[in-house]
Every structure is written in structure tokens, then in C-alpha cells.
């Protein structure tokens, strides 16, 4: 196989997490060695549907996902599971960005394939930590908010780049420092070490979203800031949550004025 889009589809369709990780790492290695490339003759992408995933976890509305304290191993396992579920979704989101949106620069595809490879590594670290707690991925309920937004933005690359990496995935930049502090209070240095790696690397993933959102806007003659705010209002309504990790978001390509506008929108939500 030399078609990157077909390889991305194989990664998306894999149900078993171990197989999804294996295919992801193999596809990234093949892209780096020029064995894979985006093929203009590749069949058009199929309509978006649920990606390959195991039967568990059970997917429930976000408000039904229980919140547990971190004072017990079970509570910390639930937190690790929640982050692992985000990373599992992020693998699929990155590969869908490769599979679905055609005619982009080669660097677009390498950026998102690299992100998929990182997310797979994050998921593996979290799965190992879950095992140390006596659990595995699927043992706790989870929600499907990230993929639902992928479905809503499947028709347009600009909306996808704006709302998945720069809004939903960027939320991890905001909340992970608080998780780390709470875990430090209970002495869980093992989980902290994993979250610190993820936080550091997720900055680059959100930056990729910023880069390609602005590229799409330039391609289409759109003003990035106004377009981003319009998309937020159209897709998120008043459901924008703060506060924002300004330092991390600045590193990920946001600017001060943009963050001020986001803060105002969140306060009005």
C-alpha cells in the first residue's frame, strides 16, 4: 500500500486498540520513509460514521459520566481512563483529518499523521497506568463529544480545524495543570509524569490546528479571527468554557486579543 488516505482509513476502521496503535505507528513510519504519500487518485472519502472502537467503554451523555474524587485508587483510575478515552478519540480525529480532507499540502498530512502517532503513544502510556490500577480501557463509561463534533464538521476543513483542535482538544491545555495539582496533593507522581508529557506534546497538536485553520482562511480569503468567532457561535452557541491556560495557548498559536475575546465569550456563557 502506498496511498496515505487508504492507510488512514485502515487506522480509523481498526476496532481493537492494540491493532489501531500498531497500524498507526506503522503508517507514520511508512510516511516518514516515503513509502506512503497522499494519492490524488484515491477513492473519495466515505460519509463520516463511527470509527472503529471496542465494544466498551459504554458511551453515555457527558452529564452522565460520574465524577470521582482522586483520594482513592479507583478515583484516580477513572481519571486516567477519561484521559485515555480522549487520546483514543484523538487518534481517530487525526486520521480522519488525513483521510477526509483532500488536496491539502503534504505538510498538512504529515502534521496530522504525526499527531496520530503521538496520540497512540499517549494512549499506550495511559493504558499501562490503568493496568497498574487493575483496570483496562473500557472499564468506565465515557462520552462521545469529540467525535460528535468531528461528524458535525466533516463537510468543511476550516470548521474542523477551528473547532476540534482549537476548541475541544485545546481544553486539555486548560484543565490538565489542575489535574496535575490535584494528583500531586495525593502523591501520584506516576500519573503526573504521564500527564506532563501529554500536556507538553498537546501544545504542538493545537498549534497544528491553528496553523491549518489559518491556512484554510487564507486559501478562502477569510479573516481568521472573525471566522473563528463566527464558527464558535454557530457550533458552540453559549457552551464555551474557561478559564484558559493563556501561556499554553499562546504557545499553540493563539494571540492575546483572541484569548481576551474567548474569555469574554466564556464569561457570557
Cis ω before 57 (30° cut-off from 0): yes
- What's 98's domain CATH number? 1.20.1260
Q: Say what the pLDDT of residue 53 is.
A: 97
Q: How many domains does the chain have?
A: 1
The DSSP code sequence of the chain is: --BHHHHHHHHHH--SHHHHHHHHHHHHHHHHTTS-B--TTSPPPPPP-PPP--S-SPB--GGGS----TTSHHHHHHHHHHHHHHHHHHHHHHHHHHHH--S--HHHHHHHHHHHHHHHHHHHHHHHHHHHTT--TTSS-B--HHHHHHHHTTT-HHHHHHHIIIIIITHHHHHHHHHHHHHHHTT-HHHHHHHHHHHHHHHHHHHHHHHHHHHHHHHHT--HHHHHHHHHHHHHTT-------HHHHHHTT--HHHHHHHHHHHHH-
Asked, for residue 73, whether it belongs to a domain, the answer is yes
Asked, for residue 178, whether it belongs to a domain, the answer is yes
Asked, for residue 41, whether it belongs to a domain, the answer is no
Q: Say what the pLDDT of residue 109 is.
A: 98
Q: Are 84 and 123 in contact (CB under 8 A)?
A: yes
Phi, psi of 142 (to 5 degrees): -145, 170
Asked, for residue 139, whether it belongs to a domain, the answer is yes
Q: Is the model's pTM score more than 0.85?
A: yes
Q: What is the mean pLDDT of residues 123-128?
A: 98
Q: What is the mean pLDDT of residues 19-35?
A: 98
Q: Say what the pLDDT of residue 49 is.
A: 95
- The Cα–Cα gap between 255 and 63 comes to 32
Asked, for residue 44, whether it belongs to a domain, the answer is no
- The Cα–Cα gap between 266 and 269 comes to 5
Residue 238 confidence class, pLDDT cut points 50, 70, 90: low
Asked, for residue 254, whether it belongs to a domain, the answer is yes
Q: Are 116 and 95 in contact (CB under 8 A)?
A: yes
Phi, psi of 3 (to 5 degrees): -85, 115
Q: Say what the pLDDT of residue 132 is.
A: 98
Asked, for residue 193, whether it belongs to a domain, the answer is yes
How confident is the model over 62-94, as pLDDT tens digits?
Answer: 888 878 889 999 999 999 999 999 999 999 999
Asked, for residue 54, whether it belongs to a domain, the answer is no
CA 73 to chain centre: 26
For residue 180, give its domain range.
4-36+60-268
Q: Say what the pLDDT of residue 268 is.
A: 82
Output 39 or 64, whichever has higher pLDDT.
Answer: 39
The pLDDT > 90 percentage for the chain reads: 92
How confident is the model over 159-203, as pLDDT tens digits?
Answer: 999 999 999 999 999 999 999 999 999 999 999 999 999 999 999
Amino acid at each position: 500500500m502506498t496511498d496515505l488516505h487508504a492507510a488512514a482509513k485502515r487506522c480509523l476502521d481498526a476496532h481493537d486498540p492494540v491493532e489501531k496503535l500498531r497500524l498507526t505507528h506503522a503508517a507514520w513510519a511508512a510516511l516518514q520513509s516515503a513509502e506512503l504519500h497522499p494519492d490524488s487518485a484515491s477513492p473519495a472519502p466515505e460519509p463520516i460514521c463511527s470509527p472503529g472502537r471496542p465494544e466498551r467503554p459504554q458511551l453515555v451523555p457527558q452529564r452522565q459520566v460520574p465524577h470521582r474524587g482522586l483520594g482513592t485508587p479507583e478515583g484516580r483510575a477513572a481519571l486516567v481512563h477519561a484521559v485515555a478515552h480522549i487520546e483514543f478519540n484523538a487518534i481517530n480525529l487525526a486520521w480522519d483529518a488525513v483521510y477526509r480532507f483532500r488536496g491539502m499540502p503534504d505538510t498538512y498530512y504529515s502534521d496530522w499523521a504525526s499527531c496520530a502517532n503521538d496520540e497512540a503513544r499517549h494512549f499506550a502510556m495511559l493504558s499501562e497506568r490503568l493496568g497498574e490500577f487493575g483496570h483496562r480501557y473500557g472499564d468506565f463509561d465515557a462520552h462521545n463529544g469529540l467525535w460528535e463534533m468531528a461528524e458535525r464538521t466533516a463537510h468543511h476543513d476550516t470548521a474542523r480545524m477551528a473547532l476540534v483542535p482549537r476548541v475541544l482538544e485545546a481544553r486539555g491545555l486548560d484543565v490538565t495543570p489542575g489535574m496535575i495539582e490535584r494528583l500531586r496533593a495525593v502523591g501520584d507522581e506516576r500519573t503526573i509524569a504521564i500527564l506532563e508529557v501529554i500536556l507538553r506534546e498537546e501544545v504542538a497538536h493545537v498549534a497544528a490546528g491553528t496553523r491549518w485553520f489559518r491556512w484554510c482562511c487564507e486559501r478562502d480569503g477569510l479573516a481568521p479571527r472573525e471566522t473563528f468567532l463566527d464558527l464558535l457561535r454557530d457550533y458552540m452557541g453559549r457552551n464555551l468554557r474557561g478559564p484558559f491556560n493563556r501561556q499554553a495557548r499562546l504557545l499553540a498559536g493563539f494571540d492575546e486579543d483572541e484569548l481576551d475575546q474567548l474569555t469574554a465569550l466564556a464569561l457570557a456563557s
